[in-house]
Amino acid sequence: MAYLLAFCLAVCWGTAFLATKNIVEVLPPYWGTFFRVLTGLVFLIILYVCQRKNLRISYKQLWRPWTIGSLLILIPFALLSWGQRFVTPTISGLFNGTVPIWAFLMGAIILKGVDSFSWRRAGGVLVGLIGLLVIVWPTLTWDNDPYALYGCLALLGMALSYALGNVLTKKIMVDDHSTTLEANTLHQYFFAAIVLLGISLILEPFPPINAFSKKVVFSIISAGVFSSAVAFLLMVELIKRWGATRMSSVTYFTPVIAMLGDMIFLHRMPGGNELLGLCFIFISLWLIQKPIQTK
């Protein structure tokens, strides 16, 4: 069952980049992010009300969902939307594939004793960083569009935020039983939606009604419900079963799905540097995730 959940999660995450690309081509990035989060919030409200879940949370515990909501929803979604305007879904998926590398580093520091240090794993981190450099190398050399590099930096911030959020979800949410999972999740989305609404109103004009074509609306629903709300529920369940670092290895498949979506729907073949970088990331994940043999 855990592997089926992992596959579904990889599909949900992998299709998010194509949907986001469709959204930000028409809508301002922060408004696009807000509507994505709002859609996920509405879905969760309907789901939890129908299930009659306990959604109460202590005032003193609000910092928990607000922290996780910032790291797993607010910050990475906004960075993805901003950066996705200048790069392809494949590049976004490749950056997302580096989340386990950063999760390993952060987990080793924050969750002491959970992820043991070894030179093999340290080598895996180095290989992953080389793969990341291979992916972004064209933007550092012959690419004349500086915004492509800025987009890559935004996606790097997305990956770092996801990694830290994955680690802290285990530490301050999954292991905490004072508040229900449903209440935590709902307050994460509510907090992210409120902050994004404020940012959007301040920084961007409201998009015209005719901008919401069937393609954009479908992409918002896809990104908001399946790639966000449903994916979040799957992620938390896998963290319970596998732990933060092993769960983050689901992103092993995310770049492949993003690349397939790029090829099928946008008719774009991946570049040689993207395929080579993907190979480096795969090797890195194998080195990091392979269990350490103890005598």
Q: Which residue has the higher pLDDT, 90 or 292?
A: 90
User: How large is the average pLDDT for residues 110-129?
Assistant: 67
Residue with the bigger pLDDT between 50 and 264: it is 50
Distance from C-alpha of 163 to C-alpha of 107, rounded to nearest angstrom: 9
Region of poorest pLDDT, from 51-55, 128-132, 148-152, 158-162: 128-132
Say which residues have a Cβ less than 8 Å from residue 35's Cβ, sequence separation at least 6: 23, 27, 220, 224
Residue 127: its H or E element: helix 119-140
Q: How far is CA 206 from the centre of its chain?
A: 25
Regarding predicted confidence, which is higher, 159 or 168? Answer: 159
Asked if residue 123 lies in contact with residue 287, where contact means CB atoms within 8 angstroms, the answer is yes
Q: How confident is the model at residue 141 (pLDDT cuts 50, 70, 90)?
A: low
Output the pLDDT for position 294.
Answer: 46
Query: Please, which pLDDT band fits residue 279 given cuts at 50, 70 and 90?
Result: confident
pLDDT at 220: 96
Reported as half-sphere exposure (CB side, CA atoms, 13 A), residue 50 has a value of 6
Q: What's the burial of 12, exposed, middle or buried (CB within 10 Å: 0-12/13-18/19+)?
A: buried
The residue among 208, 202, 154 whose CA lies nearest residue 27 is 208
Higher per-residue confidence, 23 vs 142: 23
Torsion sign, CA atoms 188, 239, 48, 55: negative
For residues 281 and 131, is the Cβ–Cβ distance under 8 A?
Answer: yes
Residue 229 scores a pLDDT above 60:
yes
**Model confidence at 295: pLDDT above 50:** no
pLDDT digits (tens, 9 = 90+) for 16-26: 988 999 999 99
When pLDDT is averaged across residues 103-129 and rounded to a whole number, the result is: 69
pLDDT at 256 over 50: yes
Average pLDDT value for the chain: 83
Q: Longest C-alpha distance within the chain, in Å?
A: 65
Confidence category of residue 1, pLDDT binned at 50, 70, 90: confident
Residue 179 clears pLDDT 60, i.e. is over it: yes
CB contact burial 72-105 (16+ within 10 A = b; e otherwise): bbbbbbbbbbbbbbbbbbbbbbbbbbbbbbbbbb
Higher pLDDT, 273 or 159: 159
- Does position 115 have pLDDT exceeding 60, yes or no? no
3-state helix, strand, coil in the chain (%, to 5): 80, 0, 20
Whole-structure pTM over 0.85, yes or no? Answer: no
